[in-house]
Amino acid sequence: MKKLIRVNGLESDVLIIDTAGSDVVIRCIPSDLSYNVLEVRNGIPYIAKVLFFIRLFVRVTQFGVKYKSLISSIVDVINPRVIISFIDNSLIMGQLDSIFPHKLVISIQNGTRMSTGGFLNGNPNFMLPHYFSFGEYEKDVIKRYNVKCKEIYSVGSLKAGIFLDNHHESILQTDSICLISQHWTITGNEVKNDYMEKLKCVYLNLLSWNKNHEYKIKIAMRSKNSETVYYKNESNFYSDNNITKKIELIARTNFSSYKAGYGSSIIITMDSTLGFELLGSGKKVLFCALTISDEFPHKENINFILWKMPNFILLKSLEKAEFNSKINALINMDNEEYLSLTKEAREYYMKCEKKYPHEVVSEFISDFMQKETLTVGLNV
């Protein structure tokens, strides 16, 4: 049985839905606005006020005993003018946009979207409110799955933008190669198991290539140190007593993977969000997801997302010769040439402008608040 979570019921200008990612969403909120964070994952939120229970009764009468009745009654009490979330595949955001047409409802993309599970989440009624996406690709995937969207704005990665805003000048690039780990514990999921097999082959090819080179290999881990069992399994996946001294396992913290990637000469990934973020900022990235077995329907999603990538940054087989050729070509390629050859792909997958995404969203919210205040003033 889920526990009850008592929510701060004070009125706020902005309501952040979900504590997950709320630390980065806060950077989008103009400094003169108040905000409240609504925890929705670890229990059932409620407000200890009579007004909340009155509104809950009204909403249940209106919608039935549904999740949107609970969340909309909380919105009724807190009465924000802006509702925002970093969880862009949550059904509730589109529902709140419909229930509260005069409020500004925003979803910010937090990960790559390839399948119906990424957006629709098995629900044909899924819809997006004002949606701040990574790039132009999301417009194509929305069309592919007929996802309803109020408006979409291609702005880049919120989290990567915050990282660059805070750290860019202090990052030194070294002669290192960063492998982004997309490790899963072996399960009955055949697609995930296939990913693991291919990831292992890519890793072994990297070790073989590096026998004749002097590059430091960094593994940007999927697990945190605190996740004892998962971290141990992931560490064992990359263990090799003969070469571990040349490998740095970097446990996941808030921005550890970004720092590892931006500080490396080459990044290797299957199809991680971080790989696309690093590509957008101009880093040299080798994508390896095309090595996934053709027998799985998910391969069609991979083909769809990678279609605009230039061939020289796509690994298409697990042959050592191709891997060596692709890595050597990236290392030897002049940065200006690389940026020129990847320009179209970078703009398509991940916008990376001088104005960071959190600044864009903050200005968007400020404009809305100013227009709303003006409208209210004219109606007085």
- The mean pLDDT value for 163-171 works out to 81
Asked whether the predicted pLDDT for residue 244 surpasses 70, the reply is no
CB 10 within 8 A of CB 49: no
What does R_g of the chain's alpha carbons equal in angstroms? 23
Amino acid 243: pLDDT: 56
- The mean pLDDT value for 16-22 works out to 95
Q: Looking at this protein, which amino acid is placed at residue 48? A: A
Give the Cα separation of 66 and 96 in Å (integer): 13
pLDDT band at 121 (very low <50, low <70, confident <90, very high): low
Amino acid 297: pLDDT: 86
Asked whether the predicted pLDDT for residue 275 surpasses 80, the reply is yes
- The mean pLDDT value for 275-304 works out to 94
Most confident of 145-149, 178-182, 232-236, 238-242: 178-182
pLDDT band at 188 (very low <50, low <70, confident <90, very high): confident
Query: Which of 39-53, 170-184, 304-318 shows the lowest per-residue confidence on average (mean pLDDT)?
Result: 170-184
pLDDT band at 376 (very low <50, low <70, confident <90, very high): low
Asked whether the predicted pLDDT for residue 377 surpasses 60, the reply is no
Q: Exposed, middle or buried: residue 216 (CB in 10 Å: 0-12, 13-18, 19+)?
A: middle
Q: Looking at this protein, which amino acid is placed at residue 257? A: S
pLDDT band at 269 (very low <50, low <70, confident <90, very high): very high
Give the Cα separation of 350 and 158 in Å (integer): 11
User: Quick one: which of 209, 196, 180, 178 has its CA closest to 321?
Assistant: 209
Higher pLDDT, 85 or 173: 85
Query: Which of 92-106, 218-232, 338-352 shows the lowest per-residue confidence on average (mean pLDDT)?
Result: 218-232
What's the full length of the chain, in residues?
380
Amino acid 184: pLDDT: 83
Q: What is the pTM of this model?
A: 0.93
Mean pLDDT (the chain, rounded): 91
Asked whether the predicted pLDDT for residue 378 surpasses 80, the reply is no
The greatest distance separating any two alpha carbons of the chain, rounded to the nearest whole angstrom, comes to 76
Amino acid 158: pLDDT: 98
Q: How far apart are the first and last CA of the chain?
A: 48
Domains of the chain: 4-156+356-379 (3.40.50), 164-349 (3.40.50.2000)
Higher pLDDT, 147 or 338: 338
Asked whether the predicted pLDDT for residue 287 surpasses 90, the reply is yes
| Cross-strand pairs, 287 | 269, 314
Give the Cα separation of 216 and 66 in Å (integer): 53
